[in-house]
């Protein structure tokens, strides 16, 4: 992860003509968080499929398998996140007290990823082609979300709509902005919390309706 961030920072920093002092910390936070988000979503599609043997043999609640994959990726995120302080110190931008505001943002992000993984796991158990579709959609969101490019590179008019209509940007920003010493906007928090409420409502309804069929689909 560190080698990839350093290589991408050197290349894209030159392409976008951005100062490495600003660009590399931004890129490092974005790449690490996006790696966590995309991996949870991708593995969420296989959440029940990969646990087929356990589901058929043991009466473990199905949601435990979702929690297992999310927790595994949280541990991996914990290992990767240590790159950030190194990058910040190297460029003379040590973490401020504002970085603590990333903790509630990370909580909201993880809670959102749980319902996304749950829904994808249920649908993928029935329709096995869904993981390929999700992988393609994630690739599109990677390019639409300011991860390797900075929001300031967008035109002021059209760029605002690209960001405001991108849920991945809001979920990313409530964690990344505090790490970079910035404050997430109320729109970032509003969209993230709205996704949390609406998403868990839909996931609860879907799970309640189809949880007894998952073992048969597998």
HEC-encoded secondary structure of 58-119: CCCCCHHHHHHHHHHHHHHHHHHCCHHHHHHHHCCCCCCHHHHHHHHHHHHHHHHHHHHHHH
The SS3 assignment for 150 reads coil
Angle between helices 102-126 and 20-45 (to 10 degrees): 30
How do residues 35-85 score in pLDDT, each as one tens digit? 999 999 999 999 999 888 888 888 889 999 999 999 999 999 999 988 888
Domain ranges of the chain: 2-217
CA nearest 87: which of 182, 1, 175, 12?
1
How far apart CA 96 and CA 77 sit, in angstroms, is 20
Centroid of chain to Cα 172: 7
Q: How confident is the model at residue 24 (pLDDT cuts 50, 70, 90)?
A: confident
pLDDT for the residue numbered 72: 95
3-state percent helix, strand, coil for the chain, nearest multiple of 5: 80, 0, 20
What DSSP state is assigned to residue 151? G
How far apart CA 25 and CA 22 sit, in angstroms, is 6
Residue partners of 150: CB distance under 8 A and separation at least 6: 16, 18, 22, 23, 26
The pTM of this model reads 0.90
Cβ-count burial of 165 within 10 angstroms (0-12 exposed, 13-18 middle, 19+ buried)? exposed
How do residues 84-120 score in pLDDT, each as one tens digit? 888 888 777 777 788 888 899 999 999 999 999 999 9
């Amino acid at each position: 992860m560190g080698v990839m961030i350093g290589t991408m920072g050197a290349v894209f920093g030159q392409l976008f003509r951005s100062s490495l002092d600003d660009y590399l910390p931004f890129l490092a936070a974005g790449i690490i968080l996006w790696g966590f988000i995309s991996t949870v979503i991708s593995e969420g599609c296989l959440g029940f499929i990969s646990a087929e043997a356990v589901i058929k043999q043991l009466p473990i609640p199905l949601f435990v398998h979702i929690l297992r994959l999310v927790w595994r990726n949280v541990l991996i995120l914990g290992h990767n996140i240590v790159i950030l302080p190194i990058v910040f110190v190297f460029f003379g931008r040590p973490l401020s007290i504002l970085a603590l505001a990333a903790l509630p943002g990370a909580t909201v992000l993880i809670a959102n990823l749980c319902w996304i993984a749950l829904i994808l796991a249920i649908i993928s158990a029935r329709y096995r082609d869904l993981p390929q579709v999700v992988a393609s959609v994630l690739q599109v969101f990677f390019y639409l979300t300011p991860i390797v490019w900075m929001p300031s590179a967008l035109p002021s008019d059209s760029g605002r709509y690209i960001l405001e209509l991108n849920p991945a940007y809001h979920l990313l920003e409530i964690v990344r902005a505090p790490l970079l010493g910035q404050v997430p906007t109320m729109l970032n928090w509003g969209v993230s919390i709205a996704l949390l409420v609406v998403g868990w409502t839909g996931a609860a309804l879907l799970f309640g309706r189809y949880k007894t069929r998952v073992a048969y689909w597998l």
